[in-house]
Every structure is written in C-alpha cells, then in structure tokens.
Amino acid sequence: CIQNNYVGWLNGSKPGKPVMSPSVVKEWIAPIVKSEDRLFVFMVDNLRFDQWKIILSALEEYYHLEQEEIYCSILPSATQYARNAFFAGLMPSEIEKLFPKYWMNEDEEGTKNQYEAELLAEQLKRLGIDVKCGFHKILNLTAAKKLVDNLSNFMQNKLNVVVYNFVDMLSHSRTEMEVLKELADDEAAYRSLTLTWFEHSPLLDIIRVLAAKKIPVIFTTDHGSIKVQNPSKVIGDKNTNTNLRYKTGRNLQFEKQEVFEIRNPYDVFLPKANISSSFIFAKENRFFAYPNNFNYYVNYYRDTFQHGGISMEEMMIPFAYLKPR
C-alpha cells in the first residue's frame, strides 16, 4: 500500500492521503492549543501503537481519553527525518531549503535533531499561534528527574513540549544488552517491558503532577519499530548510512524485489547529499546486511527492533489527547 501510494500522497496525485508527520501540529495540536489554557505535549520517541495502548492503561487512573488518532510517519521512519518534519510542519527537503541552518544531512557531523525547538517556533509563527512555549528534551534519567523537580517553573507556559527518549533507548540498546534480548524476546514481552519502564519512570511522576493541576496532555511519537527477521543484502560505499531499515548513498546495490527504491529523493521531499544519491527502504521484517561479515551481522541483528523502513509497526503511530479525571 505504501509503495503504491506514497509518492502520490506527497505530490498530490493520489487521493486518501492520511495525516502525516508534517501536518500533525497544524491539524490536531494547534486547535487544542487554542482551546486549552495550558497543555503539555509528550513526544515519546519510537513508540509503537501497541506500546501506546499499554501506557494508556497506566494513565487511565489519572486521565480520560478525549481523542485518539493514528497518523502516518514519513519515510525514512527515523528520528532525523520524521521528528524534524513533525516539529517543522515541513518535509525534510523543505526544511533544508527554507531553514538550511536547522538541517543536517546524513554525512554531516553532529546531532541531527538539535533545532527542533526553533523549527516548532517557526511553525507556530506560521500558524499564527503566539504562545509562551517551553521545550524540554529528556535524553536520560537525570534529565527526567530534573524536569520533575522543576515542573512548577514551567506551569506558566501555555504550551510545554517534552521530547522523551527512553523507549528509543530501549529499542536501540536491545542489540548491546543481551539481557534485554532475553527479556524482550517477542512483541508481548516488549510491551510488558514498556509498561514496567513506564510505571517506574519519572514520566509517570510528571503525569501525576499535571493531573492534580488539571492540565490536559497529548501523547504522540515520531515513529514506531519492527522486529526484524530476514536479511536483505546491500552494497554501498563508505559514506552509506548505518541504519538497518533504510539506506541512502551513491551506487547502492540491492535486491530489487525486497526494497522500495526512490531514485530521486526530491520525489518524496528528501534532501540529496549529492547529485546521484538515492534512498532504499526495507519492506516487511527485513533488514539490510553487507555481504562481508554477513553471517555475523545477521546473527547479531536478527530479532532486534529496528526502524526507518516500511511497515505498519513503524509508520502507523499514535496521537492521543487526554483530559484529567
């Protein structure tokens, strides 16, 4: 479905386009900001829809669900692209064109998502929303505890956005931590691990405080993840990116039937690192592996949760608006 419709959705030639990363703020968040005195938006990185449902079960003591939607992540279904697009309200190539200082390509050194607060401010300005907005990035437990301690300082902001990274760490670290590989052996275990994490996380402490102060919240994400099983051989050069579910670069060699190929990145509003750059996206539960060290690579990454490619688990993701009980 994505392969047949994606380009058409983006260039306007195919009807039935779903809400996608760049339109979430405009379509859903902006009207809520206008209708509420105060609002907290939690962008939990890498949150699958099934993981969201588990977190919702733990939230229901404090909040009731006012609105729940599924939106479609752009490709690549990875933070650098999807989350920047979400906050900017623009596709990646549009960000690069309009705000070159806020965009970094794959081959450039440095953090790829360091200007999200600025991109969101630009989007709110375009939408005519003039509010005091706090932007908080929680990349580890220390930062999370600090936010809990300083919550009262942010209560005067009409809008607070909290980017919360833990679920992403959970999925990335599965390869490094054999313990997690044992714990999260399948989807059900992964969901259960998500709940255990959430119930003991500072995020739940924040939710309790906000509920007591009768502040509504939004929960959403930038992309999900899929448990990968089958390797797909790819050959690139030394500048090819490392993600296992999408590749971009020059002269990529790959198994044509196993990927969605975009020869001209501009067709899907993606930047070109150089004139002959193309993108390929893994389909179903495949992951890219290089022919050298192939068996080692396959054993290491098979059964891990990855993102960046095309699947419902990566692309069909939650948006929820909750009001205090």
> What is the SS3 assignment for 104?
coil
Q: What is the pLDDT of residues 211-243, one digit of tens each?
A: 999 999 999 999 999 999 999 999 998 889 999
Could you count the other beta carbons within 10 Å of the beta carbon of residue 186? 10
Could you count the other beta carbons within 10 Å of the beta carbon of residue 291? 10
Q: Angle 25-31-36 (CA atoms, 0-180°, nearest 5)?
A: 115
Q: How far apart are CA 7 and CA 74, in angstroms?
A: 11
Q: How far apart are CA 174 and CA 301, in angstroms?
A: 9
Enumerate residue ranges in the chain where pLDDT < 50. Answer: 177
Whether the upstream peptide bond of residue 265 has omega within 30° of 0, thus cis, is: no
**Which among 223, 190, 179 is positioned nearest to 55, based on CA atoms?**
190
Q: How far apart are CA 202 and CA 92, in angstroms?
A: 32
pLDDT for residue 323: 99
pLDDT for residue 178: 58
**Which among 65, 75, 83, 103 is positioned nearest to 24, based on CA atoms?**
83
> Strand runs (DSSP E) across the chain, as ranges?
39-44, 63-72, 133-138, 159-164, 217-220, 226-227, 230-235, 246-249, 253-254, 259-262, 278-282, 286-289, 305-306, 316-324
Distances (CA, A) of 130 to 122, 123, 126, 184: 11, 11, 10, 44
pLDDT for residue 148: 93
pLDDT for residue 158: 98
All structural domains of the chain? 2-226+311-324 (3.40.720), 227-306 (no CATH)
Evaluate if pTM is beyond 0.85.
yes
pLDDT for residue 99: 98
- What is the chain's mean pLDDT, rounded? 93
pLDDT for residue 317: 98
Q: Which amino acid is at 246?
A: Y
Q: What is the pLDDT of residues 178-218, one digit of tens each?
A: 555 666 667 888 888 889 889 988 999 999 999 999 999 99
Distances (CA, A) of 180 to 23, 158, 199, 200, 300: 35, 39, 18, 17, 13
